[in-house]
């Protein structure tokens, strides 16, 4: 922990095409090695693939995918009397949104043999339908939190 003042949150400017702050944060997380224009191209190409294949508004598909992949609780390890237990903890909105975005990007990158724009489009469409690896990940986390509900009183 820093001994100085608490770090202030930076305000992310909205993305240029859709004027959406959530999408701008997603593009920033998609970016590798500071190549923002490449990340933007990948995201916007994925959006055009979504538009052509599903005939739905791509921004709506993105927001629905994000909602479906966003967890409400997570489990955190805590040492209690020599044993490490998993304590369910409610998440702040920033943290849950960050996890959802990370899982969507990881799911898109894990689809081998296809370009990233295509993998991202498929992952977003799957997540908007309540399928895909990011949604599975969220459900797995919720199951683990439910199984460890007995330890909720150890919350920090």
Q: H-helix or E-strand containing 63?
A: helix 58-69
Encoded tokens for 100: 């959802």
**Do the Cβ atoms of 155 and 87 come closer than 8 Å?**
yes
Task: Return the pLDDT at 85.
Answer: 85
Is the pLDDT score of 2 beyond 80? no
Task: Return the pLDDT at 62.
Answer: 95
* Bigger pLDDT: 152 vs 133: 133
pLDDT tens-place string over residues 99-114: 999 999 999 999 999 9
Q: What is the pTM of this model?
A: 0.90
pLDDT tens-place string over residues 10-56: 999 999 999 999 999 999 999 999 999 999 999 999 999 999 998 89
**What confidence category does residue 1 fall into, taking pLDDT thresholds of 50, 70 and 90?**
low
**pLDDT over 90 for what percent of the chain?**
77
Helix ranges (H only) for 14-86 are 21-30, 36-54, 58-69
pLDDT tens-place string over residues 79-92: 888 888 888 899 99
Determine the Cα angle at 130 with ends 49 and 76, to 5°.
Answer: 115
Q: Could you give the CA distance from residue 99 to residue 82 in angstroms, rounded to a whole number?
A: 30
């Amino acid at each position: 922990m820093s001994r100085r003042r608490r770090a202030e949150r930076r305000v992310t400017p909205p993305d240029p095409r859709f004027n959406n702050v959530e999408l701008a944060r997603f593009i920033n997380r998609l970016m590798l090695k500071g190549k923002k224009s490449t990340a933007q191209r990948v995201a916007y190409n994925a959006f055009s693939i979504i538009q052509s294949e599903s005939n739905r508004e791509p921004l709506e598909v993105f927001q629905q995918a994000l909602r479906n992949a966003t967890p409400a609780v997570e489990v955190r390890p805590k040492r209690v009397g020599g044993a490490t237990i998993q304590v369910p903890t409610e998440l702040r909105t920033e943290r849950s949104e960050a996890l959802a975005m990370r899982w969507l990007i990881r799911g898109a990158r894990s689809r081998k043999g296809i370009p990233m724009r295509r993998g991202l489009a498929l992952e977003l469409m799957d997540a908007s339908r309540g399928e895909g690896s990011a949604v599975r990940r969220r459900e797995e986390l919720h199951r683990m939190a439910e199984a460890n509900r007995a330890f909720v009183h150890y919350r920090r």
